[in-house]
A and B are shown apart, each in its own frame.
Chain A
């Protein structure tokens, strides 16, 4: 196991009080595999990614553990964590249009990252940058360009090259395709997938697009209201979802094979995390909610084949 999250909790400080954005999430990230994290806006999936790298605002409170290669990243002093960022774990962001410094040439973006972590000569560093650009399909004479000279898709490719240049073991891709159009999305996904296999890295793919995870992920974690409600291998999750939220979510994906007249959707709204419900976060909208669902937060139940589901329907008795 490359990275293991144990009881990870992240809370933001806001003017009205603390918001628990991620609540007791435990997750494994296997080596060379892709973990897809899905959920709707504000469910805490991006926060989770930021918490692993320690790049959330300073007032954020993070508890629990994120054990990466045997060391806990959460308790690590930020000075040491800096050496891991970009080298062992790197990150790709949602909006490629703003994730590159507008006044820096591409070459300097690469040199910055390389020189921060390694003692290489400038020639070697530029060779590394050219190689990385080649991997993502951008000609190396683009190194002297400024970000504004590239299109969105190309910038995302550059971001990917930038995050891969030091051969990290884990890449956190935070909605890498959300702001791109569909054709470029597919290209970028394929590129990511191919590079991941080539360089043998693990990936956390954060997205709200079920199609994206279906295509790219090995395992899938479904988040709702700060909770990890279900975690399972991809095919099991799609074939036989356990948690009612996952079921409803999959049912609301438009399917061209069935003759549906209307789009299905889940009624209601996600809970306000400022003032979360007492019990299960999904109880309000869940069609199978029992009395206990509104009283107590369900613990993580594990099925016999190792899947995780946070739902009282799968618990024998109370508080197992």
Chain B
């Protein structure tokens, strides 16, 4: 039938997507993210030069050969940004995955079991949450030392409580819902109640937190690298490039700092737009109250 053809459905889906501004927001965010994702995956093919090898004169301004100029060591800035996307996304995804893997199960159990266990765990998580994120990450990163995994872990520690709190609060209200009670009355195992009745009902808000945290994780990673606690140079990393570039800013080598900065801003913007749009998609009543 005509109505079920792929192009028809695609067109209908797109029309629905662009019906209000949240759809446009999500789409723009998604486009930005997709661009960075492609850059990260196909970095070796896209980058004009090796990012850690001298490819021209040091401090050359943006030109035909070097679109974004070169660094103090003669590295190509554009290539470093393309390869930097790889590091940034890798750390962000790893950190968020670890944070979710800690926060979600703990939140589920804590909210479901309740009582003293819940109170102690919540207190512990709130204690972590109350630290300014970057400062805690600096402390942990300083102990663990640099490296992709270590940076990801120290970022994960900051964001685990976010998942925990979101999940725990929702579970605490969901577990009194009639369908959970009905499942219990039908003899369902606790494990199955958590996995099949409660988790799927909290998942929409987890996905939103997830995409929001990715943006934060990239900022934190850049911050750590800026402070020299992230990835060891000369690995291409936006945060490191920023801190390296600011040393030469007074000499008017603006391209060394402008382009990595723009990269961080746009990717964070991409994640924020995407998560905001997603949020209004998944929780439509959020938009209603704002109007």
A67 to chain B, nearest CB (A): 20
Using A102-B201, A103-B200, A104-B200 as known contacts, say yes or no to A112 and B178 having CB atoms under 8 A apart: no
- CB-defined contacts of B11 to chain A, threshold 8 Å: none
Q: Mark B148-192, 1 if CB is under 8 A from A, else 0.
A: 000000000000000000000000000001110111111111001
**B129 contacts A by Cβ under 8 Å:** no
B177 (CB) vs chain A CBs: closest residue? A98
A75 to chain B, nearest CB (A): 19
- CB-defined contacts of B182 to chain A, threshold 8 Å: 91, 93, 99-100, 159
- A36-44, A77-85, A307-315: which one contacts chain B? A77-85
Q: Is the interface of B mostly helix, strand, loop or mixed?
A: helix
Question: Are A90 and B186 within 8 A (Cβ)?
Answer: yes
Q: How many residues of B contact A (CB 8 A)?
A: 18
User: Could you tell me the distance between the alpha carbons of A84 and B186 in the complex, rounded to whole angstroms?
Assistant: 9
Q: Per a CB cutoff under 8 Å, which of B185, B186, B189, B201 touches A103?
A: B201
- Tell me the residues in window 126-161 of chain A with beta carbons closer than 8 Å to chain B beta carbons: 159
**B196 contacts A by Cβ under 8 Å:** yes
A165 (CB) vs chain B CBs: closest residue? B186
User: Could you tell me the distance between the alpha carbons of A303 and B162 in the complex, rounded to whole angstroms?
Assistant: 64
Q: How many A-B residue pairs have CB under 8 A?
A: 69
Question: On chain A, which size bracket covers the interface?
Answer: 20 to 34
Question: Are A55 and B185 within 8 A (Cβ)?
Answer: yes
**A71 contacts B by Cβ under 8 Å:** no
**B197 contacts A by Cβ under 8 Å:** yes
B176 (CB) vs chain A CBs: closest residue? A57
Question: Are B201 and A86 within 8 A (Cβ)?
Answer: no
Question: Are B186 and A85 within 8 A (Cβ)?
Answer: yes
Question: Are B179 and A86 within 8 A (Cβ)?
Answer: no
B39 to chain A, nearest CB (A): 36
User: Could you tell me the distance between the alpha carbons of A95 and B200 in the complex, rounded to whole angstroms?
Assistant: 21
Question: Are A83 and B187 within 8 A (Cβ)?
Answer: yes
Using A98-B177, A100-B179, A102-B201 as known contacts, say yes or no to A90 and B185 having CB atoms under 8 A apart: yes
Question: Are A53 and B185 within 8 A (Cβ)?
Answer: yes
Question: Are A55 and B179 within 8 A (Cβ)?
Answer: no
B243 to chain A, nearest CB (A): 47
Q: Per a CB cutoff under 8 Å, which of B178, B184, B185, B188 touches A98?
A: B178
**A60 contacts B by Cβ under 8 Å:** no
B206 to chain A, nearest CB (A): 13
- CB-defined contacts of A93 to chain B, threshold 8 Å: 178, 181-182, 185
Task: Jot down 20 A-B pairs with beta carbons below 8 A, ordered by A.
Answer: A55-B181, A82-B189, A83-B187, A84-B187, A86-B188, A90-B186, A91-B182, A93-B185, A95-B178, A98-B179, A99-B181, A99-B182, A101-B196, A101-B200, A101-B201, A102-B201, A103-B200, A113-B188, A116-B189, A116-B192
**Chain A residues within CB distance 8 Å of chain B:** 53, 55, 58, 82-87, 90-91, 93-95, 98-104, 108, 112-113, 116-117, 159, 162-163
* 6 closest A-B pairs by CB: A86-B187, A86-B186, A85-B187, A91-B185, A103-B200, A98-B178
